A and B are shown apart, each in its own frame.
Chain A
Amino acid sequence: AQSVTQPDIHITVSEGASLELRCNYSYGATPYLFWYVQSPGQGLQLLLKYFSGDTLVQGIKGFEAEFKRSQSSFNLRKPSVHWSDAAEYFCAVGAEGSARQLTFGSGTQLTVLP
């Protein structure tokens, strides 16, 4: 069975600083990988996804993520964080199966200091 680990429960960065959120997955085949963001009281919004091809993927809001098969990682990065980026971030892997259902990590809460 597939699994996702987000080792950082909570990260605090200053506005304008760079950001990296870690995600490690366990899956036997080539994974479909996603990053979603959830603001308080809101649903999940897709930031970016990796299905195949270029291992560096660009997403919305200036985010990018790099798939590293050798490290089973899919870390999310942003060069300069804005206060509006404060939210919870979820990494997910889509498993092979009847519909490629998602397994989510436990999430990383991002706090942005002024």
Chain B
Amino acid sequence: DARVTQTPRDKVTEMGQEVTMRCQPILGHNTVFWYRQTMMQGLELLAYFRNRAPLDDSGMPKDRFSAEMPDATLATLKIQPSEPRDSAVYFCASGFGLAGNTDTQYFGPGTRLTVL
């Protein structure tokens, strides 16, 4: 049963610290998405990659957030420095796509981030 995995599942940190979240997409999927879920804003798209190349990161605060795919099996989302308003659940999703389409997105369990 192929699944998207995310680590850590929970992270508590202090304001100003660096936070790195990791995602392992389903083997064979070439598209990776990062979403953020908060009570106020709901589910928001932060960034996405196709074949490891960033396609759009317009949903991310550029000054503190960065997303990368060092290889096809790992996507990372980094926040530096973290702020209390970054507290949220961060989801990674993967899917297979060609051209302008992506088939179904499969979501990981999320990383719950709390910034004190």
Contact = CB atoms under 8 A, between A and B. Distances in A.
B50 A44 contact: no
A101 B45 contact: yes
Interface residues of A, number: 23
Contacts of B33: 99, 101-102
Interface in B58-116: 91, 93, 97, 100-102, 104-110
B108 A100 contact: no
A55 interface: no
B55 interface: yes
Q: Is the interface of B mostly helix, strand, loop or mixed?
A: strand
Contacts of B14: none
Nearest to A51: B103
A54 to B, nearest CB: 17
B50 A98 contact: yes
B18 interface: no
A49 B104 CA distance: 8
20 contacts: A32-B101, A34-B104, A42-B109, A42-B110, A43-B4, A43-B108, A45-B107, A49-B104, A97-B56, A98-B50, A98-B55, A99-B31, A99-B33, A99-B48, A99-B50, A99-B97, A100-B102, A101-B102, A104-B42, A106-B42
Given A98-B50, A99-B31, A104-B43, 18 more contacts: A34-B105, A36-B107, A44-B91, A46-B106, A98-B56, A99-B48, A99-B50, A99-B102, A100-B97, A100-B100, A100-B101, A100-B102, A101-B33, A101-B45, A101-B48, A102-B45, A102-B105, A107-B42
